[in-house]
Amino acid sequence: MNDRTCIVTRQRGETDDLIRFVVGPDSTVFPDLKRKLPGRGCWVTADRLHVDKAAAKGMFARAFKKPVVVPADLGAMVDALLAKSALGALGLARKAGLVALGAAKVDTAVRAGKALLVLHAYEGAEDGVRKITQARRATVYLGGPATPAYKLFSEAELGLALGATNVIHAAVLAGDAGKTVAKRMVALDRYRGGSPDDLAMIAAIADEDDAAEDME
């Protein structure tokens, strides 16, 4: 049971690619995101699709080899816990001075190569998002780092976590607290089945630039 093999795909994976589940005293299955709870556990690929499938197909009972209670909203429960973890880390990064707020400051952080990632609220206007995306692309074109961008939260959720109002655009800066935010945002994004909005495109720009230099 401690073998890190997904009970759905039957494939082994790294710890960050899986979610551990345990069974409580009342026989209820619940997620152990920190992977620290005692007792037997089983592992599921860290996305909503596989968690929902494991719940629907009775795979937890087979994995634990006993009757278990699977909450009807298990998939949503995991999503909420991942979101809470990501927002909590974001708040700590803000207190450490590692979050830039507002389109202008985000643009500056990206162009300076100091941003680990960019966050856009769901309510973000296309024009504002486009301008920051242009900054991200320009930074890569000039040899700077590729900065992923995510739309994972509403303005209200970001504002509550950051202790601010009208939070539409934010950049998480380099530093230990910033790295923790990046790891948790990646985990949440992966669970929701998404990916950075156009990181592949940005990487392609960098590859094209490298190719052009090789031809010179």
Same fold, 15-75 and 83-215: no
Quote the pLDDT of residue 200. 57
pLDDT at 211 over 60: no
At the fourth CATH level, the homologous superfamily of domain 83-215 is Ribosomal protein L30/S12 (3.30.1330.30)
Residues 115, 63: Cα–Cα separation, whole Å: 42
**Mean of the per-residue pLDDT values of the chain:** 90
Domain coordinates of the chain in residue numbers?
15-75, 83-215
pLDDT at residue number 39: 86
Residue 214: pLDDT band with limits 50, 70, 90: very low
Summarize the confidence of residues 210-216 as an average pLDDT.
44
The predicted structure's pLDDT at residue 213: 43
Q: What is the tens place of the pLDDT at every residue in 1-36?
A: 457 999 999 999 898 999 999 999 999 999 999 999
- Is pTM beyond 0.75? Reply is yes
Confidence of residue 204 (pLDDT cuts 50, 70, 90): low
CATH (residue range 15-75):
3.30.1230.10
DSSP conformation class of 12: B
Alpha-carbon gap, residue 14 to 18, rounded angstroms: 7
Residue 114 has phi, psi (to 5 degrees) of -95, -10
Confidence check: pLDDT of 181 > 60: yes
Phi, psi of 109 (to 5 degrees): -65, -40
CA 39 to chain centre: 27
